[in-house]
Structure 1
């Protein structure tokens, strides 16, 4: 009796395939586009993805998911003082070169934080003509819901694109 090999997919209970050293196991965010591979370390033998060497630029799948998760959820910490964009910016600068997956989520979160900051500023000005009183709570609720959805998707290893986002950073 022959068994067909089923390709692992997110959500069917099977883990993603092991990545080649220096490459993320995740598919590109849009069909028809490819990501440039992460540069290989200069060593003669490539480290395994489970045991990267310090400073090699190779991240484990778990590390990629954690950094992507932090890029979204970490913004809650500074959002109360209108600096929610700092966490994804720090993640982008610290780990964006090591992983295309982390860079994608950090850029997506950074754009969303900047878009939300702009929307809140405009709604704050519109408080004087009453419509801002309706917009500010709506923006706050949408912010919380969308950041949680993005954080959960990043932690599961999925590509997430905010539905309302101005692309300030590409």
Structure 2
């Protein structure tokens, strides 16, 4: 039987990922501390702790992959578009915005993908917190199970 204390701990394990907005790497430190302190007390808390830690590691891995793909496109676009701003000290400043590079569209698309991933991450964390509060198990989508 899952009591309210276990539900609350599991909920706080999920919600502790929001500490990233205050503490660097708080999305790892918060759940890890709460999970390690309470994993032996309850199988329910142990399962939720493993889920959120696996999810955060998976999100970090996905963000690194998107970043490694995006950065070269951004750098190539930066060097390709150096003539974007034409400054002549004796005349005036002219902006040349006739034709953006296709690399800009690729970089923008990957940036949009990263933004959507961030929003979905927040939604999944809230859904998992609500499931833990109700005493239910929650499996994050696209999670690689590092801890089993």
Q: Same fold (TM over 0.5)?
A: yes
Distance in 1, matches of 2:21 and 2:55, equals 12
Task: Tell me what 2:45 maps to.
Answer: 102
Corresponding position: 1:133 with 2:76: no
Alignment of 1:15-30 (within 5 A): 25-26=1-2
Structure 2: which 5+ runs fail to align? 74-106
Distance in 2, matches of 1:137 and 1:64, equals 33
Counterpart of 1:73 (choices 15, 20, 24) is 15
Distance in 2, matches of 1:123 and 1:83, equals 21
Moved over 3 A (4+): 79-83
Alignment of 1:1-170 (within 5 A): 25-26=1-2, 61-78=3-20, 81-128=24-71, 129=73, 130=107, 131-170=109-148
Q: Which has the higher helix share?
A: 2
SS at match of 1:148: helix
TM superposition score normalised by structure 2: 0.70
1:8-45 deviation line (CA, Å, top 9, x unaligned): xxxxxxxxxxxxxxxxx15xxxxxxxxxxxxxxxxxxx
Distance in 1, matches of 2:142 and 2:21, equals 18
Question: Highest Rg: 1 or 2?
Answer: 2
Ranked by relative contact order (alpha carbons within 8 Å, sequence separation 6 or more), the top structure is 2
Structure 1: which 5+ runs fail to align? 1-24, 27-60
RMSD, matched Cα: 1.6
TM superposition score normalised by structure 1: 0.61
1:126 deviates by 2.4
Answer whether contact 2:54 2:146 (CA < 8 A) is retained: yes
Task: Tell me what 1:14 maps to.
Answer: none
The total of aligned residue pairs comes to: 112
